[in-house]
Every structure is written in C-alpha cells, then in structure tokens.
Amino acid sequence: MLKLIQSGAPLSFRQRLMLTAQLSWPAIMAQLSSILMQYIDAAMVGRLGADDSAAVGLVSTSLWLFWGLCSAAMVGFSVQVAHRIGAADYSGARNVLRKGITSAICFGAMMAVVGIAIAEPLPEWLGGDEIVNGKASLYFLVFVAALPVLTLNYLGSAVLRASGNMKIAGGLNVLMCVLDVVFNFFLIFPTGNLSLLGMDVTVPRAGLGVLGAALGTVGAEMVTASLVMWWTCRKRRELALWGGRAVKEPNGWRLFIPTGSVLRNALKVSAPMTLEHGVICGAQIMVTVIVAPLGIMAIAANAFAVTAEALCYMPGYGIGDAATTLVGQSYGARRKDLARQFGYLTVGLGMVVMTVMGVVLWICAPWVMELLSPVRDIQALGTSALRIEAWAEPMFAASIVAYGVMVGVGDTVVPAAMNFSSIWLVRLPIAAFLAPTMGLEGVWLAMCIELCFRGAIFLCRLFSGTWLNHGL
C-alpha cells in the first residue's frame, strides 16, 4: 500500500488504518526489544547489589545523551530518504544513504573522543559516591568507545524504517536482545554450577560484573549494526549500494563524500533535534543531580523505574517511527492532505495504546520492580514512582507521536523548542521544589505534570496544521 502513496491513488480510512498498523507493529516490537534489553541489563546487574545498580544508574542519563545525539544526527538523512522514496527517486535515496554512512562514522568518532575524555571525572561531577564512581566510569567508557559503530546502527535502522521496511529493523532488534542475554550471561557472573536436566554442570563465565554488562550490550549492538548495514546496503532493493540488486552508478567512492545540499537538509532536520536532545538529556542529568542527595537507594530506584516505565512509552515511539515514514512519504509525494490524515490517525492510535499500557504499569508496578531488584527499599520507592507516572501516559503518547509526525515533513525547530522548554521550565523547577520534602515521589510527580503539559501543547500544534508549512 506504500505504492499507493507514491502513485497518488486515494486511500480509504480502512487502508490508512491497515497501513499504520502494518508499519507500527514491527516498529513497536523493535522498541520493546530494546526495552527488554535494558530490563535484562538492569535485572542482571541488580543481582550484584545496590552499589553496582547505583553505578549503572548514575551514568545512564549521560549515556542516553550520547546515544540520543548520535541517533538524532542520523534522522536528517532518513527523512530525506523517505521523501525521495515517496517521490520514487531511488537514485536520490541511495545518494543520501552514501553521504549518511560517511557522516555517521565521522560524527560517531567525534562523540567517542568527547566521551572518552570525560569518562573518568563524570561520576564525580554527577555527585556520585566514591564506592560507585570507579565502576560507573568504566561502564560509561565502554559504551562511548563503541559510538562510531553504534551510530551506523542508528543510521541503517532509521533508513530501513524510512523505506517502509519495519520487519527487518524490528527483527534485528529482537536478535540484539537475544544476543545481549547470552553475552551478559557469560560476562557478568562468575563461573558456577547450573542444574540442567537434573545434572549439575559447571559453566565457565568471566565474572566481570558491571564491566561485563557493558561489554555484553556493546557486543550485541555491534553484531546488530553489521547486519543492519549489510541488509540496508545489499538486500534492500531501493537502497542497495552493492551486490546483485545494486544499480551501477559512476564515480564510485566519490559518491560517499557529503555534499552541500544533502548536509544542509540533514542539518535542517537534525540540528534542532540534536540540540533538543542534548538540552533534554542535560535536564535528565540535572534530575540525577537532584536525586543523588536522596541516597544510593533513591538513585538505584530512580534508574530502575526509568527503565521500567520505558515499557509503556516505547510502543509510542514505535508508532512515532511509523508516523515519520507515512507522513514523510506522503509529503515527498506532495500529498499534504494525506500527511495530515496520517498525523491525526497515528497520534490517536498512540494515545489509545499508551493509555492501556499505563493501566498495565499501574497494576504491575510491584512485580516489575521485584523483577529488576531484590532490594525491598528499592522496590518500594520504584513502585511509588511508577504509579505516579502511569497517569501521564496518554498525554506523553500525544507528544511522542506528534513529534514523529512533524519530523516526517522535516519540521523540527519548533517541536524541539517545545520539548526542551517544557522539561526545563516545568519539570526541573517543580522537581527541585518537591524533592526535599517528598523525596523521589516528588521528582516523579514533577515529571507527570510536565508530560501532561507537553502533550497538550503538541496536540495544539498538530491540530493547527502549521507544521505542514515548515517542512523541507
């Protein structure tokens, strides 16, 4: 049905709904697999004790900053690919992909250098305790050193989604989750006996603890990055750069040199998103600074609750990915009315799905926290935080999916400003005011209030239609 968008044929409501569901389902599975990987890491590290959990939690928001910056920088290329495929300009889509590969390697390397430089002092800057700072630094260092490869993974996955191929991107994310379990099993825990079919078997393992968790996850992501790029550049017909499906084009390696027009369009989309993500993650780091004085239990509970809550909002991000593809291809085919219809449909679907997930989170919060940590104090704090946050899920969905809709046309400046203004001007002041008296519950109440406000302003912009006039 994506061909109907390119051909200019009309799409009924039923066809639009089916197409949205077909693209959203694999994208949701991909996002959920990523969250399962975080659950796995958190649960495995949680078995090592509160100190190791706090070490991971202390630098987790800083890692999200680096990952998010690399991911946002690649969106500018994937949006251009969606527009060109929508216009049936496959040569142009391949041209953007080539430039994106070079840019991904260069940007990832630059971010890796910055991360390595700050790895040692970072935990101390965040107010961490001496007991956890060394492990936190090492955990952070392993991840940032792998950023050039991880950025290629972000590019390949985003381009596959932009082309409408959600299944391969989703399937590879599931594979990454499986590999993470296997690698972590052998790298985190020491050698020990396991009971298999009634027999005690000695399983040799590395016993690296927090370092093993970082190496296991990075290893899984690097394997996945290789497969994503292989499929994108060789197997995807519209994008193949080599192999039997590739279209021979002149100039060879020179096509990989970024050109002014592609970079300008990429910067127009990605620069506001990158700045926005940096500012938002800076705010999340400030939240960590606000939580740190509350003690190791609060730091660990906050980190686990953030991981647990992602189970609710990642379906929203999956539907947002589908919205970016559908709106982007409609916009590239010069069908603004269809882009608007897909925008309304995907936002409505996202709000319904995340409302259901919010109810599930409220009910299952105690069991989720038991899964992530055996420490009773951490479980109690995390459960309270999650039950506060569950009330914000419908409006959080509105902001997530509406943002994906606007990214689809290339409108990122105003949405980025809306995102970081909301978190800095609403969430942080309220959290700083409530934390001294309400503790961790006050921090999460501030988050709930801010997410409801953010969803409201995104809905206003969506229904105003101004985003359609600010695309590429």
- pLDDT band of residue 8 (cuts 50, 70, 90) is confident
DSSP for 99-126, written as a single string: HHHHHHHHHHHHHHHHHHHHTTTHHHHT
Residue-averaged pLDDT of the chain = 86
Q: Would you say residue 62 has pLDDT above 70?
A: yes
The pLDDT value recorded for residue 42 is 65
Confidence (pLDDT) at 306: 81
- Predicted confidence at residue 114, as pLDDT, reads 96
User: Is 132's pLDDT higher than 90?
Assistant: no
What pLDDT band is residue 250 in, cutting at 50, 70 and 90?
low
Nearest alpha carbon to residue 7 among 291, 442, 335: 335
* Residue 137: predicted pLDDT: 94
Lowest mean pLDDT among 83-92, 289-298, 306-315: 306-315
The amino acid at residue 275 is L
Q: What's the maximum distance between 2 C-alpha atoms anywhere in the chain? A: 67
| pTM of full prediction above 0.85 | no
Residue 333 is predicted with a pLDDT of 86
For range 76-95, the mean pLDDT: 90
pLDDT of residue 450: 94
Q: pLDDT digits over 192-227, tens only? A: 777 766 677 788 888 888 889 899 989 999 999 999
Q: What is the pLDDT of residue 120?
A: 93
CA neighbours closer than 13 Å in the CB half-sphere of residue 373: 30
pLDDT band at 395 (very low <50, low <70, confident <90, very high): very high
Q: Which residues have a Cβ under 8 Å from the Cβ of 404 and sit 6 or more positions away?
A: 317, 319, 320, 321, 322, 323, 324, 327, 346
Residue 56 CA to its chain's centroid (Å): 18
User: How many residues does the structure list for the chain?
Assistant: 472
Q: For residue 403, give both structure tokens.
A: 């943002």
Closest CA to 319 of 17, 7, 97: 17
| pLDDT per position as a tens digit, 346-375 | 999 999 999 999 999 899 889 888 877 778
- Residue 270 vs residue 449, higher pLDDT: 449
